[in-house]
Amino acid sequence: LASLGLALLTGLVLGLFPGAMAFAAASDLLTMKISNRLSFGLAVAFFPLAFTRVCTVEMGSFSEDYGAFADANTEVLPISVDSIPTLREFKAKEHLVVDLLSDFRREVSRRYGTLLEDKFYSGRAYIVIDGEGIVRWSFLEETPGTRRENGELLERLRSLG
């Protein structure tokens, strides 16, 4: 876990999140920036690729637990290197509720240390940001085939008070 990616992610913990330059990734509806979404908490979830087994299960799980995240005053923002048309198709085919962000140019994944350069997609990682824009927790999975359960993410959110 002492990889460069983890070091970059954990370097953000308890530091101010650079909202003005962060997450200018396009969703299927609009370009989102964290600085516009700070009236509530965020759970940013980097995922490798749409239509893969673990990512499909994870995005379905985020949709199933959408209400639980809303009750925790948190929005889940999944982000991958897939194109906007691919994410639009993925969302429709899997009947997903969450908006999906595209980092097609790999800028956000590279900036936050989640991009697996040799594979050209992002590793699976999570960043929990409170309503003040402060990163409170981050985690980078050792392999893209593993993921955190929503219960763990919700527990992290509850611990923020």
Contact 64, 98 (CB under 8 A): no
Active-site annotation holds for 121:
no
DSSP 26-67: EESS-EE-GGG-TTSEEEEEE-S-TTSHHHHHHHHHHHHTHH
Tokens of 62: 């985020």
Q: Which of 9, 25, 55, 108 is catalytic?
A: 55
Residue in 118, 152, 103, 81 with CA at minimum distance from that of residue 4: 118
Q: Give the span between the Cα atoms of 6 and 112, in whole angstroms.
A: 9
| Residues belonging to the active site | 55
